[in-house]
Structure 1
Amino acid sequence: MKFVGRDEELQNLHQLLQENNQVAIAAIAGMGGLGKTELALQYAKNQRENYKGGLCWIQAKADDIGVQVIQFARTHLDLNPPEEFNSSEKIQYCWRNWCEGDVLLVVDDVTDYQQVRLYLQGVSSRFKVLMTTRQKLGASIKQLSLDVLQPDAALELLRSLLTETPERIEREDVVKQLCEWLGYLPLGLELVGRYLARTPDLSLSAMMQRLEKKRLEQPALVKPEADMTAQLGVQAAFELSWQELAEDDKQLGCLLSLFAAAPIHWNLVEKCLPEKDEDELEEIRDDKLINMHLLQRKGEDIYQLHPLLREFFQYKLTGLEQAEEFRRSLCQVMVAVAKEIPQTPTLEEINVVSLAIPHLAEVADHLIQYVSDKDVIWPFVGLSCFYKGQGLYTQAEPWNQQCLSTVQNRLGENHPDVGSSLNNLALLYDSQGKYDQAEPLFLQALKLDKRLLGDNHPSVATSLNNLALLYRTQGKYDQAEPLFLQALELDKRLLGNNHTDVATSLNNLALLYHTQGKYDQATPLFLQALELYKRLLGNNHPSVATSLNNLAELYRTQGKYDQATPLYIQALELYKRLLGENHPHVATSLNNLALLYYYQGKYDQAAPLFLQALELRQRLLGDNHPHVAQSLNNLAKLYYSQGRYDQAEPLLLQALNIFEQSLGGNHPNTVRVRDNLANLRDSLNSQQ
């Protein structure tokens, strides 16, 4: 094996073997394919001057260790133990009469330390014993745990193997993807690197495709070349460990392979095997999988399979009787996780669930056929809520799209979950400012809900609300109002007055009245919504922050600045604490507080908040979102008020272009910006 990226390990190994005056025994431990034997070989080469008594290399799995020692002594040291001695006496004779100087005794691929220990009786302190092993051999043995290569070292290893065609490495993205797929395992990297060297016309992209298609059975990973230290392919190297596992150990490894190639919280594994006793499961995990370096501990109750070991266990899973049961069990566990993710998760809720997200994605992408019809929507809904709730709309979008197509294919066009999927995708488009894409989906969802569920159903009220909110955003106030009123009446009748959906309906209708300047009608609705949210959700909830912000906006519009200020500040503080500093709701809150300061003439306080809001919106929503246009317009108004006309004009032009593209030329926001631009140009002309 080409030797790179192990300098620190060589130093640590030498230190372990020199630490005391007694017999130094150390082990290089790790999973198959890490290059344990190669490291021992390199250490022996590098330190040969320090071992005047020579190097004795023993294969633990070959002939009896004692026989190998005696044979070595006869061949290399010209020692001939008396024939009348028994085996143990002959070995002791060899140890006593070994040539002078420190001796390095390497025992390769140890599976049972007791078999080695038996022959070390009477060895003097000048003998340094180095073992390689796939197991943990006990607390008394100093251990150097070998890990995979660092990404830079993995790239260096591939470069060293492709010296005749170095240009193939320059396509960094493909190379990094290849190294990542191989899990930075030295054996896998060397096998693939040598295969690529033998096939100069094979691109790295094509190699990647072949690996993804044939996995561990791809020829590049199967057969080592004659001059390699390793004499087994990846699958064969792992097979040695597999043969030492009991049935329960094998089953647990196969179950773990169904999870994504990411850290796994142990609690999820336990839920997949409810019939197993906790202690029994932990013993299987620790005594075999951890002990044999087949599973890595990543933190408290967090574990992970190496990517290629995951591939190996998945290969073994195909022949396992419990395979389908394990797949269904994992899907049930992940569906339960998805159902617990709120629409707008707080930072705390995100932290709780974040470790499960890759595994939820694995179910959605590769195991969805094992999710029941009644739950098929949930993996996608959970993933969408996780990302959309953080304002990560581009990451949420493919899950919403995949949800709709999966539900349509599985359940047909006439199913309530299709209506929910249409609604969710439309809501996402609405958040992204893609109003033209959102509207037909909202209309389809409403029509489907009415046809399948009847006019008197909470889902119909939700669909009415969503469509009405879009119409309000588009400035179609006359179309929005009857829908809001219908939704509110339905929610109250079906759910009672004390329900969060009623609070949402009250809030949405109030927003419309506020936009229309009907402040007397908006005020009591905003107050009712706020009181309901607080009573039902507590004071620390994103919906409460939104309600505080909306009420503050109403007071600001009415010129009630003293009443608006504390509400704005409360809303901003709540958003930051619950959702984090980088969230679209925080940007909205900053923008609104800046507007308050602007209308009070506190330009020095308004300016930094407008700039923060603009930067956040551009970063989170993209440059062409209507909220970005709103921020550009507001900042331009501030500059205009300060007489900074040259700075204001380009901002207004940008805002006008965005509004025209997203809302059309006749929308109130577009008209407002056009008026602002006209006023600015009048002021510029008057200066000339």
Structure 2
Amino acid sequence: MSENRPNPEQIRQNAFENVQARDITIKNFNQSINLGKTSKAIGIPQNLPLSGVVKFVGRDEELQKLHQLLQENNQVAIAAIAGMGGLGKTELALQYAMTQHETYKGGICWLQPKAEDVGVQLVQFARTHLDLNPPEEFDLPAQQVQFCLRNWREGDVLLVVDDVTDYQQVKTYLNGLSSRFRVLMTTRQLLGASIKQLPLDVLQPDAALELLRSLLGETPERIERELDVANHLCEWLGYLPLGLELVGRYLARKDLSLSDMMGRLEKKRLDERALSKSKSDDDMTALLGVKAAFELSWQELTEDDQQLGCLLSLFAAAPIPWKLVEQCLPEEDEEDLEEIRDDHLLYLHLLQRKGEGIYQLHPLLREFFQSKLKSLDQVEKFKRSVCQVMVAVAKEIPDTPTLEEIKAVSLAIPHLAEVANHLIQYVSDEYLISPFISLGSFYKGQGLYTLAEPWYEQCLSTAQDRLGDNHPDIATSLNNLASLYYSQGRYDQAEPLYLQALELFKRLLGDNHPDIASSLNNLALLYNSQGRYDDDQAEPLFLQALALRKRLLGDNHPDIATSLNNLALLYNSQGRYDQAEPLFLQALELDKRLLGDNHPSVAQSLNNL
């Protein structure tokens, strides 16, 4: 037995009437409105596709800006929503058309260049929705398109051209438009300066969490129960709307905790099923999963473009100073690299410019390029090159960096950490501990001891794993960790490490080596801070360190000034001021002569005196 069902056009009509009833205006966009499915507005011809959005969030400012771009003058306005795949460009265009349908009483025509020639689609729309019948003798499609545009119904018109990959093909049909036409395009490309651009970025963290919560509407307690994990999940996805929607929909139909979902993503990365579209996601506006969406842009790249993208993925998910990239590819011409960067990666929104000379990959694009990197012949070369560049940066970070030095190197720190955590196997034994020491010094120099400690600990364990227990770098690692404990006043933990370092240095390097003097000096400082001035503790160690440094380094070396200063501090602590003063003066004079007047050591000497 059959039953009567409403036809699809009637369903679309009813849905759009619901949208009309919401009375949404440009002055008061609601960030979290759910406009439902589109349809044909009464008296306004349109062919908008169905929207699969559950709840539209986080794009209030973009909707307002878009309307301003399209309405700010009486000329033909052409604007483009531009950005990488997965940002929701199509959905934003669709939501704009739906909320602003009353503005465009002449109609809203949705065009898809990838499906069919734009001109053919325009003529089809005019025949179907405007009852226009171009003379058959007109050439198709150019003359028929011009006929339709000239005879279009009254009122402003919105032409939406979704996913433009070749603007010239679209531009052909835009010539001669009257001023009542507005053209809105979505594209992954960076179009010319004559086209008003609305660069689309990822969602803000709060909006991303709200989107995830909306997709789990029937079980919102899952978000509140694992709120920290939910925030981490949004961050891992880079706040990308496509990734958030796919994962949210996946969670909605699975009996799966957010922690388990996070674990699967971290294990399988972009190959995790939750990031691919399933049959149950056919109502989504987006047509592709995350990896498939990125693949479209990948296919537009040349081999050189692809290689540069893969190299960039070896840096951390943080702003990248371009000079570091150039240093990784010293054999490449700078202008050639700039051309790939600007005319290809930036053009396709695969790379973001974050400031002058600063660029960044989106976290999921970085994952994508890393997956492609595995199949490149240059993978080992690229990894070693990045490590060499970052080790060179590490060597420039002093043990006690100044504020100026900290500022100069701060952008490189995440990438140095990336090498230490994930690429250390490509660092030679000679420079194995350099990344860890420099990271520790960077944070210790700012008094951020809790951030410095893990790096010093990792330095020791990494050196032990590769070099064994009998290597000078083990002694250096012990000494640095002890120095951190000393700075924190954790003297009981510092002393055994200082003693181990001194014993190991003596056994491996002999008694006449600058590192022995440094160990003696550090141990003496510890004893001095503990008030252990006895003949067999602080003073003899300071004197041994000073004598050894003079013998090995001569009288004109900054370390001599350090030893003189430390010995003077000991005498000062004991009230032996007549002995302390000349040593303070000698240290100050030597620091000024060797380091100049503007150096932290000079300031320290002045303070001590």
TM-score, structure 1 length as denominator?
A: 0.78
Q: Partner letter of residue 164 of structure 1?
A: E
Query: What are the residue-to-residue correspondences of 1:351-366 with 2, within 5 Å?
Result: 351-366=407-422
Q: Partner letter of residue 65 of structure 1?
A: V
Provide the secondary structure at the position in 2 that maps to 1:125. Answer: coil
Aligned to 1:151: 205
Aligned to 1:62: 115
Deviation at 1:182, TM superposition (A): 1.0
Q: Output the CA distance in 1 between the equivalents of 2:75 and 2:517.
A: 80
Q: Output the CA distance in 2 between the equivalents of 1:512 and 1:128.
A: 80
Deviation at 1:510, TM superposition (A): 1.7
Verify: 1:139 aligned to 2:193, yes or no: yes
Aligned to 2:31: none
Aligned to 2:244: 189
Aligned to 2:74: 21
Q: Output the CA distance in 1 between the equivalents of 2:188 and 2:375.
A: 25
367-376 or 206-215: which moved more? Answer: 206-215
Verify: 1:483 aligned to 2:537, yes or no: no
Provide the secondary structure at the position in 2 that maps to 1:303. Answer: strand
Q: Output the CA distance in 2 between the equivalents of 1:67 and 1:372.
A: 62
Q: Partner letter of residue 277 of structure 2?
A: K
Deviation at 1:276, TM superposition (A): 1.4
Query: What are the residue-to-residue correspondences of 1:334-353 with 2, within 5 Å?
Result: 334-353=390-409
Q: Output the CA distance in 1 between the equivalents of 2:248 and 2:552.
A: 66
Deviation track 1:498-557 (CA, whole Å, cap 9, x = no partner) reads 011111111122222222222222222221111111111112222122222222xxxxxx
Q: Partner letter of residue 345 of structure 2?
A: L
Aligned to 1:303: 359
Q: Output the CA distance in 1 between the equivalents of 2:290 and 2:214.
A: 20
Query: What are the residue-to-residue correspondences of 1:381-530 with 2, within 5 Å?
Result: 381-478=437-534, 479-530=537-588
Query: What are the residue-to-residue correspondences of 1:97-176 with 2, within 5 Å?
Result: 97-170=151-224, 171-176=226-231
Verify: 1:545 aligned to 2:603, yes or no: yes
Q: Output the CA distance in 1 between the equivalents of 2:568 and 2:76.
A: 82
Aligned to 2:7: none
Aligned to 1:590: none
Aligned to 2:91: 38
Q: Output the CA distance in 2 between the equivalents of 1:56 and 1:250.
A: 36
Q: Partner letter of residue 230 of structure 2?
A: V
Q: Output the CA distance in 2 between the equivalents of 1:93 and 1:277.
A: 51
Provide the secondary structure at the position in 1 that maps to 2:313. Answer: helix
Q: Output the CA distance in 2 between the equivalents of 1:420 and 1:372.
A: 17
Deviation at 1:437, TM superposition (A): 1.1
Provide the secondary structure at the position in 2 that maps to 1:130. Answer: strand
Residue of structure 2 aligned with 1:209, choices 242, 263, 267: 263
Provide the secondary structure at the position in 1 that maps to 2:525. Answer: helix
Deviation at 1:480, TM superposition (A): 1.7
Verify: 1:534 aligned to 2:595, yes or no: no
Verify: 1:94 aligned to 2:148, yes or no: yes
Deviation at 1:90, TM superposition (A): 1.7
Provide the secondary structure at the position in 2 that maps to 1:258. Answer: coil
- List gaps (5 residues or longer) in structure 2: 1-52
Residue of structure 2 aligned with 1:84, choices 129, 137, 141: 137
Provide the secondary structure at the position in 2 that maps to 1:396. Answer: helix
Deviation at 1:193, TM superposition (A): 1.1
Provide the secondary structure at the position in 2 that maps to 1:144. Answer: strand
Q: Percent identity?
A: 79
Q: Partner letter of residue 182 of structure 1?
A: L
Q: Output the CA distance in 2 between the equivalents of 1:503 and 1:71.
A: 87
Deviation at 1:240, TM superposition (A): 0.7
Aligned to 1:3: 56
Deviation at 1:229, TM superposition (A): 0.2
Provide the secondary structure at the position in 2 that maps to 1:443. Answer: helix
Q: Output the CA distance in 2 between the equivalents of 1:543 and 1:157.
A: 54
Q: Output the CA distance in 2 between the equivalents of 1:77 and 1:255.
A: 52
Q: Output the CA distance in 2 between the equivalents of 1:541 and 1:210.
A: 51
Aligned to 2:19: none
Q: Partner letter of residue 579 of structure 2?
A: Q
Q: How many residues align?
A: 550
Deviation track 1:182-210 (CA, whole Å, cap 9, x = no partner) reads 111111111111111112x3222221121
Deviation at 1:475, TM superposition (A): 2.4
Provide the secondary structure at the position in 1 that maps to 2:212. Answer: helix
Aligned to 2:274: 220
TM-score, structure 2 length as denominator?
A: 0.88
Deviation at 1:219, TM superposition (A): 0.9
Aligned to 1:280: 336
Deviation at 1:85, TM superposition (A): 1.9
Deviation at 1:362, TM superposition (A): 0.7
- List gaps (5 residues or longer) in structure 1: 552-688
Q: Which has the higher contact order (CA 8 A, sep 6+)?
A: 2
RMSD: 1.3
Deviation track 1:475-516 (CA, whole Å, cap 9, x = no partner) reads 222212222111111100000000111111111222222222
Q: Partner letter of residue 161 of structure 1?
A: L
Provide the secondary structure at the position in 2 that maps to 1:343. Answer: coil
Verify: 1:314 aligned to 2:370, yes or no: yes
Provide the secondary structure at the position in 2 that maps to 1:143. Answer: strand
Provide the secondary structure at the position in 2 that maps to 1:49. Answer: helix
Q: Output the CA distance in 1 between the equivalents of 2:595 and 2:247.
A: 56
Deviation track 1:280-326 (CA, whole Å, cap 9, x = no partner) reads 11111111111111111111111111111111111111111111111
Residue of structure 2 aligned with 1:198, choices 250, 253, 258: 253
